[in-house]
Amino acid sequence: MSDKLKPLREKIDSIDAQILALLNDRAKVAQEVGHVKAETNAPVFRPEREAQVLRGVADRNPGPLGAREVQTIFREIMSACRALERRVTVAYLGPAGTFSEQAVYAQFGTAVDGIPCVSIDEVFRATEAGTADFGVVPVENSSEGAVNRTLDLMLATPCLISGEIAIAVHHSLMTRTGVMEGVQVICAHSQALAQCQVWLNQNYPHIERRAVASNAEAARMAGDDPTIAAIASEHAGAQYGLGVVNAHIQDDPHNRTRFVVIGSLHTNPSGRDHTSVILAVPNKAGAVYQLLAPLAKNGVSMTRFESRPARIGTWEYYFYVDVEGHVQDPSVTKALAELKDNAAFFKVLGSYPTSLT
């Protein structure tokens, strides 16, 4: 066996040497790009450019590596090269180990400086104040719907959306000992408790459930207290020394959460984009239908429609609408102009590349 493996290993070593040389060649070019960006005061992170690169390598990939695996490799290459220009700072709902942190790495790669925040509000504050270059916040879940606090904060923030990330959410029940003996309370974020409600009702209906700031915070608490069980990702559990009691307890096996990237960046078209807006209309019959008619008239597809009670002003609801396309696309430009003319309130939250997953 060793005689057969030796030439294959030598071949791999030779290929690895070529890969290493090419990676450093790429890094040197990235440094030159950084110098040009510094001269023109251009942003270090260009999500539309990175989205185009990742889509391109997936389209050209001949296998046997899968498209997602190739994209993961290239995302890390771009992240490491970007860090040679300047490390990007990203605020997210902490502590370490949350799905929000996973979303950060899924968008930016691991060569970034994460800033864990105690709440979604703090993520917005850190981004608005410039403490972080970007923030990553959850906006909706496939089973529980919109994250209302994010929607409310988007209404008033000066931040723009410059990206979106969809993360598969797998919840596990974990304790310090790996068993439920002595457990008096199950802790998790309120969204996670809701996403596991049926399973919890069937298996632990009599144990108290307590909502905390994040699943990772629940994991940290469970690591300190054997009477607490946490619902969190296994990544968070490993970070705080927990054992898995039951894995994948979410009621929806295809449970996903969509996150958005916020900051001050205006993105250019990537070829596959979404645009998000907030609208309000006077309270009269047919007002919403009349407001949205320009989308159909101009052939613009609406991909999401959420309503939230108005907390200020004279209108009853704000409507959060996502459409396909970029604000620079002629059809989207025309549709949004007509929407603005008909709306009592109108705000563009940003145009950004669609999630790769």
Amino acid at 70: V
Maximum separation of any 2 CA atoms in the chain, in Å: 81
End-to-end CA distance of the chain: 40
354 is a catalytic site residue: no
Determine whether 227 is an active site residue.
no
| Catalytic residue, candidates 74, 124, 259, 319 | 259
Of residues 150, 257, 275, 354, which has the active-site annotation?
257
For tokens 């000066």, what's the residue? 158
Handedness of CA 190, 195, 198, 201 (dihedral sign): negative
Residue 6, CA atoms < 13 Å, CB-side half-sphere: 3
d(CA 304, CA 141): 12
Which residues are 229's β-sheet partners?
186
Give the span between the Cα atoms of 69 and 30, in whole angstroms: 22
Please list the helix, strand and coil fractions of the chain in percent, rounded to the nearest 5, in that order: 45, 25, 30
Give catalytic residues, as residue numbers: 257, 259
